[in-house]
Structure formats: structure tokens, C-alpha cells
Structure 1
Amino acid sequence: MAIAAARLGLHVSAVGHVGDEIYGHFLLDVLHDEGISMVEMNEQNGVIDTLSTAYETLLCWVLVDPLQRHGFCSRADFSEEPAFSWLSTLSTKAKMAIRRAKIIFCNGYGFDELSPGLLGLLWIMLLRWYLSHAAICLTYGRVNTIKAESLTGTEDPIVAGQELLKKGIRTKWVIIKMGSKGSILITPSSISCAPAFKVNVIDTVGCGDSFVAAIAFGYIHKLPLVYTLTIANAVGAATAMGCGAGRNVAKLNQVLELVSGSNLNEDEKFWEELLKKHSDTEEITLLTKAVINGTNNWLQRVSLQKVVGELLPKLECAQAKQVGAC
């Protein structure tokens, strides 16, 4: 997620822990090459046992089966104690990075590896950040159709999104990823839909996180919602064309090629049938390949040509400022 966001031109810091060994040094080099600053969670004032594996970089193995389904495994899965149980407080630099952030992306699984005491401190910090950014803060949920159905019991992705929106106290957006069909962004008063881009899928590892990076890009730049979905679909699709995550997530030149190529996986019948059931919604917007800008009764169509014309200058500006490889 951090690398994808940096490649879109966002200023990114990674808050976490890496060990003083080959893997930690490698990760620091990669982040540096991508223009990402690393903020160490450990204050490093005290003496620690550097020979203990507890302080080493936590490695994760990605397991992929022939159907492209993947799972994750690390030493933390075989330990009764959290991987970072030795970490009792946050460093001053980590606290400062959290306070200054415009957007915070938290890996939920990471919280499993912290001690209860540190978890309490971290949640208080995040709550304070949340309240102090009330005017500009965005809270959103991003799930795929399978997770949305399991959480709400409904097959209709829009109804599922609306149910999830109601359950979130201050949630403003819910995004449903629908694989090759595209994605939907739901707010209390609108539905925005964008078909996916046609690509040759090699590996879906990292697609979700890179998708999130593009959502952050759209939010920070105050893009219209359907524009945000379009760039997110493009970044996710570009990542799927590679193999693995990390440095193999979408490169900006790939994203530019995708949005410029206008090769949408359109399914007019699917979107018409899905959206017509929700025609009483205040605003419904659908991205289309055909140049049919404007509103037709209940459905507002926005052409990809129009979106690309406004997105390209922002992406080209990001490319000009980019530190990492394009």
C-alpha cells in the first residue's frame, strides 16, 4: 500500500519495526528507493538482546494455490505471545508521525502482534487523531462481494454496502470490490460505479492494498467519487498484471497506459439490472466507455474520456515528482 501510494505522488511514512539484519536493511533500502520514510516504533533507548529472534524483522510468506487464492504465514502464527510483546510504548517519532498524518492506513492484523498495554496507548492516539481531524477525516470500509455478503447476509452488493454504512458510527464511504466487474462506492446519498479494466491477470496479491492507495489519492485530491474509483480500478488492475506485492505493485506508467487505453470491461446489462433496483437513490453515477455525459432519468453517466482528460494531468504531475521507479 505504501509503495503504491508513493508511486502516485503521495508523501508516505511507514510506522513499524524492522530488525538490524539483512531483511531489515533490505526493507529500509526498498522504502528509501521509493521515497518512503521509515518511522521506528521502538524508542531504542534501552539495551535489547539483538540475538533474540523476537527483535528481528517479522517475515511473511505468501502462499498461492493454482486458483490464485492466497494466504499468509509468519512465525507469529506459531507463537502464543504477540510477535512484538516486548514493545511497551511508542517512540516519539511514531507519535509525531501519527499526529501529522492526513490519512492513516492500519493493517488490522498488525494489532494482533502488539501487547495489550501498547494497544491501549495506540487506540487512544488514533482516537485523538480521529477527533482532531473530524472536519477532513474519512472513514471507509473496503470489502469484496463475498465478504460483504457474509457480513450482511445479502447478495445485492449495494444493499450490503448500505447496511455496512449504517453499522459504522461515522463511516462516510463503503467500497465494494467486485473483481472483474469493477467496484462500487456507496455514501449515505449516492452510488458511484466503475467497471474494471481488462488486463491479463497474473497474480492478485497486493491488488487490494494498491487499490486502497489510489482511494487515498482520490480523497486527498478531492476527486469526484467515480474518478476515484476509476484510478483505484486502474491501480489494482496494473498490480494484477505483475507477480507478487512489494515493489511489484503498480508502476505509474502502467496506470497511465491503462487509463489512456480505455479498455473497460463493460457489461451494460449487469449494471442496468443492478442499479435500477436502487433508482430512488439521490445520485447514481456510472462510468461508461461511450461518450454519453449527462443524466438519463435516474442514472448519470460519465464517459471514461472525460475522466481520463481530468485525471491525466494529476497523474503526469505525480510522475514528474516521483522518486521510485516508473
Structure 2
Amino acid sequence: MFITIKTMDIVTLGSLCVDIVLSVPVLPQASDEGERPAFFEQLVVAQPPPDQKFWEAGGNCNLVIAASRLGLRVSSVGHLGDDTFGHFLLGVLQSERINVVQIEEDSEETNRGASYGSTLLCWVFVDPHQNHEFFSNTGFSEGPVLGRMTNLPKQAVAEIQQSKILFCDGYVFDEISPDLVVSALNRAIDAGTTIFFDPGPAGKDLATGTPAQKNALDMLLRLTDVLLLTSDEAESLTGIKNAVAAGYELIKKGGR
């Protein structure tokens, strides 16, 4: 291990997205999984982009904005497309004094689903009864958006190693490959950076996913300094219903 000079307090990896809240007459039912792509296509792709009054900075943007407003030195490493949504999000982050290190594949052909561009988007559909459903433009694609990227850019690695804390969540696997997640984790640990990990709802899918996903999740659960989970998420990762007991089980698996 080598300890680098820490010029940042917090750096986040991935999950830079725009949230768009739209009202719809009817939500797709959970049992209608096969209808979701058609529902998405009809309400989102086939229409012009909604007015910016419905847009919000989402994902890890909430964390870095709050941290910056508290006076911390903050940076975000992630993917922003060269599109209207990406320009909007970059403007929001820069206005909050947040350093942004963008990562992108060499090829213009990224492995993304239908969208207005390459920026990660999350639609929140709300029906007249205020029930809601979340859709992401990564939800109908195979593999991460930047699945062919084999190495993190040098600037991204430097940003991670020069930060006191690296924060990532389970949705980073929608953006980069499990191998790159593991690489970022190892680079951070080598530099003495503290790891915060929030598996979120994605943790359950990762635990039953590909061998690479399961290996990366296992490493994160073992090597993370601070895990952030709800009781339901802890149960899904341990099979233990009692939240306190599940927490102790995760602590026992920790290797740091």
C-alpha cells in the first residue's frame, strides 16, 4: 500500500444520471414484464424529450451536491454523453463546484438501450394515484453502457487515489464492467482510500448474476470500509431476516 496526498474529500464512481418525472395514465403491472419495453418505447422514445422543468440531477449527483454544499472537496468520475441531457447535468454539477472526470469508450458505439443520447437517464412514471415506476435507459440493454472499456482513464484513477473516500453504488455495474469496478476498488485500497459502498436494489441481482458480477460484489462486500444498506437489502444479501443479525453477518465477512 502507498498513501497518496489527498486533495479530495469524496469521489464518486459512476451513477451520473438525469431523473425525469412524468405523469402517465396507467403504470405497467409487475406481472407484465414483457410489456415494459413497449411501454418504454411508446412513452419515452417515440416522443420528443420532455421540458427541462421535469429534469433533475439524479443518482450519485445527490450525494456530491450535498457534500459540496457542506464545504467538502468533491469529484465525480462517470459517464456523460455529448447530448442535451449530458450538457444539462454537467452544468448542474459545475454550478455546485463539483469536479467532473468523464469516462468514455474510444468507440462511439456504446452498449446502451434506446435513449435520446448516451447520458444515463431514469424516468419516474407517476399515475393519477401517485403510484410510481422507475425505468432506466440501461434497463433494456445487454451489459454495461461502457462494456467494452478495458481500463479506466489515468485521470479517473488519479482522482480515486487522491481522494479520502471513494463512494459507489450497485448501479455502477450498469455503466462499467465488473472487472473495472474491481480495478477501481483495488486502486483505491492501494492508495489508502476509504471505501463506501451502497449495493441498493441492484445488489440482489448482482448476487445472482454472472460469475464476474458475483465476484465483484463479493470483493466489495469484503473490502469495503462502510456498507450502506436497508434491512431488505441486507436480507437479500445474507438470507437473514433480522436486520441486526444480517449486519453482523456482513461484518464477519469483511476483510479490512
Q: Normalising by structure 2, report the TM-score.
A: 0.53
Kept in 1, the 8 Å contact 2:80–2:120? The answer is yes
Q: Is contact 1:3–1:36 with CA below 8 Å preserved after alignment?
A: yes
Distance 1:50 1:129, change over 3 A: closer
Provide the rounded CA distance (Å) in 2 between the counterparts of 1:142 and 1:128. Answer: 21
The within-5 A match list for 1:275-286 is none
SS of 1:61's equivalent in the other structure is strand
Match of 1:34 in 2: 96
Equivalence for 2:248: 162
SS in 1 for 2:138: helix
Q: Once the 2 structures are TM-superposed, how far is the Cα of residue 152 of structure 1 from its aligned partner?
A: 4.1
Gap regions ≥5 residues in structure 2: 1-62, 197-224
Per the alignment, residue 129 of structure 1 pairs with 188
Q: State the identity as a percent.
A: 44
1:251-273 per-residue CA deviation (whole Å, 9 max, x = no partner) reads xxxxxxxxxxxxxxxxxxxxxxx
d(CA) in 2 for partners of 1:38, 1:80: 27
Relative distance call for 1:2 and 1:162 in structure 2 (3 A) is same
For the residue of structure 1 that corresponds to 2:120, the secondary structure is: coil
Q: What is the CA distance between 1:52 and its match in structure 2? A: 10
Residues 149 and 160 of structure 1 are in contact (CA less than 8 Å); yes or no, is this contact kept in structure 2? yes
Q: Which has the larger Rg?
A: 1
Aligned partner of residue 28 in structure 1, secondary structure? helix
Structure 1: gaps of 5 or more residues: 171-326
- Structure 2 counterpart of 1:133, one-letter code: G
Number of residue pairs matched by the alignment: 163
Aligned partners of 2:68 and 2:74 also within 8 Å: yes
Give the RMSD, CA atoms, in angstroms: 3.3
- Match in the other structure for 2:80: 18
Q: Does 1:120 align with 2:188?
A: no
Q: CA deviation at 1:125?
A: 3.7
Q: Name the counterpart of 1:175.
A: none
- The one-character-per-residue Cα deviations of 1:226-285 (angstroms, maximum 9, x if unpaired) are xxxxxxxxxxxxxxxxxxxxxxxxxxxxxxxxxxxxxxxxxxxxxxxxxxxxxxxxxxxx
Query: Hey, what's the Cα distance between the residues in 1 that align with 2:147 and 2:254?
Result: 30
Cα distance in structure 1, aligned partners of 2:236 and 2:129: 21
Q: 1:65 to 1:127 in 2, by over 3 A?
A: farther
SS of alignment partner, residue 105 of structure 1: strand
Contact 2:110 2:146 in 1 (8 A): no
Offset of residue 63 of structure 1: 4.3
Pair 1:8 & 2:94 matched:
no
Q: Alignment partner for residue 61 of structure 1, among 105, 117, 123?
A: 123
Query: For 1:78, what is the secondary structure of its paired residue?
Result: coil
Q: Equivalent residues in 2 for 1:51-130 (5 A)?
A: 56-63=118-125, 72-115=134-177, 119-130=178-189
Choose between structure 1 and 2: higher strand proportion. 2
Partner of 1:276: none
Q: Which residue of 2 aligns with 1:176?
A: none
1:179-258 paired onto structure 2 within 5 Å:
none
Contact 2:122 / 2:136 at 8 angstroms: preserved in 1? yes
What's the offset of the Cα at 1:164?
A: 1.8
Offset from partner CA, 1:51-101 (integer Å, 9 cap, x none): 997862121123467998865322221122432234343222111101111
Q: Aligned AA for 1:120?
A: D
Q: Which one is further off, 149-158 or 90-99?
A: 149-158
Partner of 1:5: helix, strand, or coil? helix
SS at match of 2:101: strand
- Corresponding residue SS for 1:106: strand
Counterpart contact for 1:14–1:37, Cα < 8 Å = yes
* Aligned residue runs from structure 1 range 283-322, under 5 A: none
Any idea what SS the aligned residue of 1:39 has? strand
User: Residue type of the partner of 1:130?
Assistant: I
Q: CA deviation at 1:146?
A: 2.6
Q: Give the AA of the match of 2:160.
A: I
User: If each structure's helix is expressed as a fraction of its own residues, which one has the higher value?
Assistant: 1
Q: Against the structure 1 CA distance between its residues 72 and 105, is the aligned structure 2 distance closer, same or farther, given a 3 Å change threshold?
A: farther
Change in CA separation of 1:58 and 1:149 when aligned onto 2, cut-off 3 Å: closer
User: Structure 1-normalised TM-score?
Assistant: 0.43
Report if the CA contact (8 A) 1:63-1:72 is conserved. yes
- Distance in structure 2 (CA, Å) of the matches to 1:155 and 1:66: 34
